Amino acid sequence: MSNYLIIGHDPYSTSTFSRITKHVIDYLSKDKDNSVYCLSLGESVARHFGNVLISPVTDFQKQIHEAITYSKPDIVITICDILDTFHLYYYKIFSHSKNWRWVGIFDIQTMPPPPMFINVVLEMDYVLTYSSGIYDFLFSHEDINIMYASLGVESNLFYQLPNQEEICKNLFENNKFLILSPGSNNESNYKIGLIEAFAEFSKNKDDVYLYFCDRDGNEYSKLEETAWKYPWIVDKVMMKSEHDFKLLENHDLNNLYNSVNVTIDVSVNSHFSLSCLEALACGGKVVMTWNHLNPSNQYPLSDRIETIPTIKVVNRVGGNERYVIIEELVKKINDSYLEYKIGNFKKIHLDEELSKEFSWDKFDSSLKYILKKTLNIRVKEPIASLTL
């Protein structure tokens, strides 16, 4: 029997951290001898099922102390931004409780990282990263135990529809070129950049449409703030109502991935795009901004990805941020449009071997190795994860 404390994100949401949190909970709870306690950022309701207890975070510092004191974890797994791990770091270095080990699965929102970053990482017994950029950034430090493992998608949630070719053909025959931007936690200036690029691209075109949707249910963009400059895009941009804060259902998102001509990710400072991975798993084409910490070759079917050059800007805290070059984004969209106009609307067919590239197997194998290495415990083989 092993006790696990997970500090992660709402496992019933759809962000990257949420997907990882849900998958790790599924993975660990399959062994009924394990006890899994999750402090969930963003979760508003406590949940208890089987050997899993999920508690919403209201007072992070206090709850970390209580969770470690009363659940007596063998391993603490953090699945969050590096800044969210600082409370645990201070607890570990000042606490007399040293019996638990720390596995970190994190992202870095600002490069260069915030002060104390390296000290926090050095307190982790193992780092499991899904970003090849973060792996390269930390690998050279001899005191950091780090492994890289790509994420997966749930095959019963994101897959090619049997009638995908018929859907695409029907859209082509009805003169509809569709662009999808399923962002999550992106700053508004990135979204405005896409609006500006689409406005330039869509001039004098009546058959092009942009679908905005935020997978977390947050307000994606206030179109009226920019529409006065580009009045011709008002009827060409589709989005969820700004008053609709419900999560985008997985089947709706899967239908969009299967139907659109191209999926665009304008998150220029992220280290991994779950939306790109899901779109590729549906056989789609992806356009994403270039970022050396989020290289296209870390994704399966990377030849289906077009990258857009960016410019580097120093932010208010001295970190480097990148911004998409609007003119280059317009060119990439137009290239996809020209392919569509000559009838090249088919998506790539994913056979069984290609589909395996989008599974969680690599992530599970790495996590299993780390758990064994950290505590020398025996972990059962993974079973297919529960759906959200």
Match 């120093």 to its residue by tokens: 314
- What is the distance between the alpha carbons of residues 84 and 41, in angstroms, rounded to a whole number? 9
The DSSP H or E segment spanning 87 is helix 86-94
pLDDT digit string, tens, across residues 276-329: 999 999 999 999 988 777 889 999 999 999 999 888 777 666 666 778 899 999
pLDDT of residue 16: 87
- What is the distance between the alpha carbons of residues 40 and 46, in angstroms, rounded to a whole number? 9
Match 């962002």 to its residue by tokens: 183
What one-character-per-residue DSSP string does 314-337 give? E-TTS-EEEEE-HHHHHHHHHHHH
Is the pLDDT confidence value at 378 over 50?
no
Is the pLDDT confidence value at 373 over 70?
yes
Strand partners, 151: none
Question: What is the residue-averaged pLDDT of the chain?
Answer: 85
380: three-class secondary structure by DSSP: coil
- What is the distance between the alpha carbons of residues 220 and 208, in angstroms, rounded to a whole number? 20
What's the CATH code, domain 3-151+360-375? 3.40.50.11930
295: three-class secondary structure by DSSP: coil
371: three-class secondary structure by DSSP: helix
CA 368-14-3 angle, 5° bins: 35
Higher pLDDT, 185 or 231: 231
End-to-end CA distance of the chain: 26
Phi, psi dihedrals of residue 86, rounded to the nearest 5°: -65, -40
pTM listed for this prediction: 0.87
Query: Does 309 sit behind a cis peptide bond, omega within 30 degrees of 0 on the bond before it?
Result: no
- Structural domain boundaries of the chain? 3-151+360-375, 164-341
Question: What number of residues does the chain have?
Answer: 388
Is the pLDDT confidence value at 268 over 70?
yes
- What is the distance between the alpha carbons of residues 363 and 148, in angstroms, rounded to a whole number? 8
- What is the distance between the alpha carbons of residues 193 and 185, in angstroms, rounded to a whole number? 15
For domain 164-341, is the CATH number 3.90.1150.10? no
Of 265, 263, 270, 266, the residue nearest 324 (C-alpha):
266
- Reading the block at residue 297, the tokens are 């070759």
pLDDT digit string, tens, across residues 3-53: 999 999 999 887 889 999 999 999 999 999 999 999 998 877 888 999 999
Q: Tell me whether domains 3-151+360-375 and 164-341 share a fold.
A: yes
Q: Residues 43-66: what's their mean pLDDT?
A: 89
Contacts of 120 (CB under 8 A, 6+ apart): 82, 85, 86, 89
Is the pLDDT confidence value at 213 over 80?
no
pLDDT band at 237 (very low <50, low <70, confident <90, very high): confident
39: three-class secondary structure by DSSP: strand
Is the pLDDT confidence value at 186 over 60?
no
Cα dihedral 235, 239, 240, 242 sign: negative
Is the pLDDT confidence value at 122 over 90?
yes
Contacts of 136 (CB under 8 A, 6+ apart): none
